[in-house]
Structure 1
Amino acid sequence: MESEKTVYSYFSDVMLLEHLKKGDRLAFIEIFERYWKKVYNESYKRIKNPKLAESITESVFVNLWEERENGKIDKLLPYLLASLRSYILQLYIEGKTERHFESGLSHLMLISMPTGIN
């Protein structure tokens, strides 16, 4: 069932960000509705764990709400994806997940390495 459209659904990202910075919860809800699938999918692509991807997605949006007034957010989607990458990198560093998205590229490194044979 699709949610009802609000006036916020017609706002540009710039307008939503302006309202978010003022603490407008309805603007935050619209941002969440607009971008949660993208953030979740990007997270899942990298860690292949649905529960962990959901948890990371929630953390990204909690972070957005907490950082709304600091002036660091210029564009919504790039900010959300940068925040996501930061959370996932921290999980890699802590050894709490594997780097699934890199495993498919290892063969390319072997193919493109110079052999030193002419």
Structure 2
Amino acid sequence: MESEKTVYSYFSDTMLLKHLKKGDRLAFTEIFERYWKKVYNESYKRIQNPTLAESITEIVFVGLWEEKENKKKQKLLPYLLTSLRSHVLQLYREGKAVPRVERKSNYSMLTCIHTGIN
């Protein structure tokens, strides 16, 4: 079942930010609905812990509301992802999460074997 669209669902991010800065809760709700999954997924990618990822996502959006009058916010998603990265780095510093290191593919090794280069 799809949720009912509101007039805010047709607003650009710029319009939502404008309304958010005035304390418009419906604009905040639309921002949350639009971006919570992206923020959560980015958080989960970095820490691989669903509980911590959910907590960080909540903290990011609470911070957005608390800093709603901040004139520096120009674009929503970059602001949210910067906030997310800041919180993830804080968890790393505190030892509450371990950075996830991605394994590199063996493409370069396979290329060397195929071409005979060592």
TM-score by length of 1: 0.86
Match of 2:65 in 1: 65
> What is the deviation of 1:104?
2.3
Unaligned runs of 5+ in 2: 107-118
- SS of 2:96's equivalent in the other structure is coil
Match of 2:103 in 1: 104
* Cα deviation code 1:38-79 (max 9, x no counterpart): 000000000000011000000000000001102121100000
**Aligned residue runs from structure 1 range 70-81, under 5 A:** 70-81=70-81
- What value does the CA root-mean-square deviation take over the aligned residues? 1.5
- SS of 1:23's equivalent in the other structure is coil
Unaligned runs of 5+ in 1: 108-118
**Aligned residue runs from structure 1 range 10-29, under 5 A:** 10-29=10-29
Cα distance in 2 for residues equivalent to 1:10 and 1:41: 24
TM-score by length of 2: 0.86
> What is the deviation of 1:9?
0.1
Identity percentage of aligned residues: 77
Cα distance in 2 for residues equivalent to 1:71 and 1:92: 29
